[in-house]
Structure 1
Amino acid sequence: MDKEKPIRLSYISEELNNMCEICNRICNSIYFQRNFDNWTSGNKDIDQFIQDDQISVHKDNEISHALEWIPYDRFYGIKYIGKIGVCRANWIDGKIYKWDDKYQNWERLNQDMLVTLEVIITPKNVSIEFMNKIKVDHKFYGITQNPETKNYMMVLDNICEKCNHICNSIYFQRNFDNWTSGNKVIDKFIQDTQLSVHTKYGTSNAPEWISYDKFNNIKFIAEHKLGKIYKANWIDGFISKWNDNNQNWDRYNQNMVVTIINLNNSKEITTTEFINEV
């Protein structure tokens, strides 16, 4: 008969020492603490701020609120936008989701997700009060540092004031810097309408700026008081819903048949009333 394997007392002692005093078990707070020696921001105030926040995370439903130190090389496609000290970037790893016992690491969601990087003017002022103020308008994921400028930067995402979370309105807003019709009135009309789309049911009615090369088989049909009417196939099809995995819109009805009106005097459009009439 095989003898039972002896229990390693050193292993038990180690596990007991790692028990969370609040949860009386190994919880998320402990998983974060285990990694404290593997990273540093180079700033004691910021290190302490992040560590204190992580230590306070015990329950699984609190993980999404935990901050982390994110090395700058985990971002790509970094582009500065209108506001000084603010840029957009893709976060390679994505946000923490839950602890994976098998791989002894954090599972993550939304790889390559778009985030905002914003310079922290005074790192010494980083505090719970500071974080709570930021969280009013943003989802706060963590802190990074630009190795060239040495500026510390918050890793953020905008939160919709109406929905109090990242909704379709925010997904549309992220893309405003990537397109223009060349007409300020048209741009404003499209953007204002997109900003009003919060629920998943409104996306199919949201207008968008569509590049002309996204149409093929364009054929003239008739004259109209507004201009010439054409029929064409729209290669991409209309927006359906946001896809977190691809960080882009899912679309339906690729190559669908649509009508295009070549507006007379379109350069003279100066009011949204004209667009609403159309």
Structure 2
Amino acid sequence: MHFQQNFKFWTSGNNNIDKFIQNTQLSSHIDVKNALEWIPYNRFYNIKYHIAENMYEANWIDGNIQYWNSYNQNWIRKAQNINVELRKLNNLKNITSEFMGEVKIHYVFYGITQDPETKDYMMVLNETCKLCNFICNAKHFQQNFDNWTSVLEWIPYDKLNDIKYIASSRYIANWIDGNIINWNDNDQNWERGQNMMVQLKRLDNPINIALEFIIEAKNYYKVYGITQEPKTKDYMMVLNEE
């Protein structure tokens, strides 16, 4: 009912798409996760095209619907400014529930939008993790891969202060940001334990960094990430004793 009352306030401009979205909404009697939305294109920002994957990446201002608030008579949403993928709909006539089911094998399907310049209709999606079939912590890390290059968490050296030498190839320092605790859906960012003391251990052979090396290190330490001293160019593990 809540969706149906809003039908007159939106249209995609395409009858097939309108009916498809409306059918998903009318079928969502209890669980709104199966309901799609018509999402105006101006609700996205930071839109970037990825040539290799032939899709766009963007931030969705509103975030996805969670439940109906009877008091405010409006939808409660979560994950404002969520990172999403925009993928072109190539065959508008074949939009069916079966098509939606196929898409949902690999993605969370939020809705459909239209680029006002190209007039292309696009699905608004979020790719699920191939291992757990969920938008897990691994996906949040993956969305940030373009911003740095290294292993574990890349920790900029200027995020460390009060650095003191303690022994061969070892230092102690205060890590301003602190380690990751959990993902905050509302802020679309990691919550951290700030201003924590850590050890910096120089990596003597960065070429031989492998998963086995990290696992071995974790037998003795909590390994948070890797940083680089800008003057010496030395790479160092950021860790703490267990």
In the superposition, the TM-score normalised over structure 1's length comes to 0.72
* Structure-2 residue corresponding to 1:108: 77
Partner of 2:12: helix, strand, or coil? Answer: coil
| Pairing 1:245–2:183 present | no
Match of 1:262 among 202, 211, 217: 202
CA drift at 1:124: 2.1
**Alignment partners' CA distance in 1, 2:58 and 2:179:** 26
For residues 180-230 of structure 1, the C-alpha deviation after alignment (integer angstroms, 9 at most, x for no partner) is 13xxxxxxxx3xxxxxxxxxxxxxxxx31111111111222232xxxx322
Q: RCO greater where, 1 or 2, for CA within 8 Å and sep 6 or more?
A: 2
| Pairing 1:208–2:150 present | no
The residue identity in structure 1 corresponding to 2:65 is I
Shift in alpha-carbon separation, 1:274–1:52, aligned structure 2, 3 A: closer
Match of 1:46 among 14, 17, 38: 17
In structure 1, stretches of 5+ residues that fail to align are 1-29, 182-189, 191-206
Structure in which a larger fraction of residues adopt strand: 2
Match of 1:272 among 210, 226, 229: 210
More deviation in 162-171 or 208-217?
162-171
Partner of 2:153: helix, strand, or coil? Answer: coil
1:167-206 map, 5 Å: 167-181=136-150, 190=151
CA drift at 1:133: 0.3
**Alignment partners' CA distance in 1, 2:116 and 2:100:** 23
For residues 48-77 of structure 1, the C-alpha deviation after alignment (integer angstroms, 9 at most, x for no partner) is 111111111112xx1122101000111112
Shift in alpha-carbon separation, 1:270–1:122, aligned structure 2, 3 A: farther
CA drift at 1:84: 4.0
Structure in which a larger fraction of residues adopt helix: 1
Q: Identity of aligned pairs, percent?
A: 54
More deviation in 82-91 or 139-148?
82-91
Shift in alpha-carbon separation, 1:141–1:260, aligned structure 2, 3 A: same
**Bigger radius of gyration among the two:** 1
* Structure-2 residue corresponding to 1:34: 5
Give me the CA root mean square deviation. 2.0
Runs of at least 4 residues of structure 1 off by over 4 A? Answer: none
Is this contact kept in 1: 2:25–2:34, CA < 8 A? Answer: no
Shift in alpha-carbon separation, 1:52–1:213, aligned structure 2, 3 A: same
Partner of 1:172: helix, strand, or coil? Answer: helix
* Structure-1 residue corresponding to 2:234: none
